[in-house]
Structure 1
């Protein structure tokens, strides 16, 4: 087997004919050692801080064989490979088939190992008193890309957290979000994908959307990029629950107490640019601008004369810029002085 073809396959860069060749190669009983070596090499190339040991690999195999392989992999394999699996009835052959099928699953979603690593890290949560849950957290100044067990992808912004239980993708696809994240939802008409964020629940089958729901923000924004979603705003006090459906390019904005909500068009560059490391401000109030900079650069702001920034608003785009460069540009247009010292920024108008 051409090693370049295998490398392309693990990276997701392959044709249908390439896919057939790799499937048949993976099912060859004398290829286990080489397949394992290539899988480990690719894993370590994209996850430099984590080493995929033999023990880890076997643990992934067991997990996938029990929960994923038969239901997911056989559906993905072509007709010839299915026949190969059904033609051999011995226990040894079937076990071998499932083991190589597990490698195929790993190639489709290398985030599965990270998922497995976190299976035993958790206790009770609002998802269920006895449920073991998984948390993914990004600190200030960091972002992370997550592949879930069902194939859905999440980009998690800085100072954000998602929580889901160990049965995600099996009996439910329920997630709790604090902060901001962009979701690319794998299609599954049987199990809806539900995201609870502050006082909203966003439900989808297969679509992509952004949710911004930081605790210190006064509002929650659900912005739909593709497909369609249903958003339920939970009532508070005398306010009843409300339900709306969004079309692509529409944003649902609801205040913290669900006492006011609107549906409006949104600027994709402004809302989604954070995924590409672009800071975007568009007539942004100074308090919101400071909050975003604090999360983005993991710093603390001190404003010496806050009464003077009441009506101050900023506009600008900054891609992969240092904090000092951003502050220098903003200080010219917004007329403030600043001092940057380690992780503290002092400004005065």
Structure 2
């Protein structure tokens, strides 16, 4: 059997621990002992069912030359007989088999696992507060007010290479004008593109998307991921665009004429409304907020109080369907004007300014 010293020398060679002189000495030793090594190979490998065929002289020449190149030995000029080549092949086979098994046993030690951690290419901000809405200022100066359970995601090239945002839920966007980088919000497969404007995108309901333009102009398009195709639709200030993928409809609600605002701080229904009136949509075009709240209080027979700190020159543009509940309507109105609504004394609702601390970017959590 092959001595332990020879085995260890072969292992050291494959580990690269040998000097050039030591490698040459090892090769000379293996060549001198090739008859004995050949017999030992038959005993150690063929008895285990792994009988290896001897290499052809041509292949032996190639493999031996590879070993000589590694050890720095020049190719001899003399010609070897076929029997001599068989001996060399046996030596190489011994060399190779021990090296092969050694590498199998030590691969994990010799080649430690490499781990590659790619830098996150997107930034995600999600509302984690129980407050009505939270405000975040983007790198280009644009701002977004996120509703509860809503989030935005954009890549790290935002404000440099693009201004593309993916929205989940609902958000109000106040866009910093930049003619070279259009501002684009995508939700439910539909994109809303603007240069400098203010609008609300609502994609909270599956299969339904609403865009409410407050000022400026936007264009709405369907993307490859949209559930239905729509023609490019341009909105003017005050218009709303409703997409219903289940019904396969896309409806634009035009602007309506402004209504005269009624001035009052407290509103309560004084007379009973007819069933016909209750079924009508509420539509406002740059209407004074005092008047808007009065109409809502009348419709729902609920007292709505505007706090004295709320400016009386605020306006609202939009439309609510007959099926919208009171909380949905008040939420939208407060979202547009950076307000909040709470229950006051009794059954009255109080409209207040949103606390300053709720308008800072710390109100959103970044998810890397």
TM over 0.5: no
Q: Which has the higher contact order (CA 8 A, sep 6+)?
A: 2
TM-score when normalising by structure 1: 0.41
- If each structure's helix is expressed as a fraction of its own residues, which one has the higher value? 1
TM-score when normalising by structure 2: 0.39
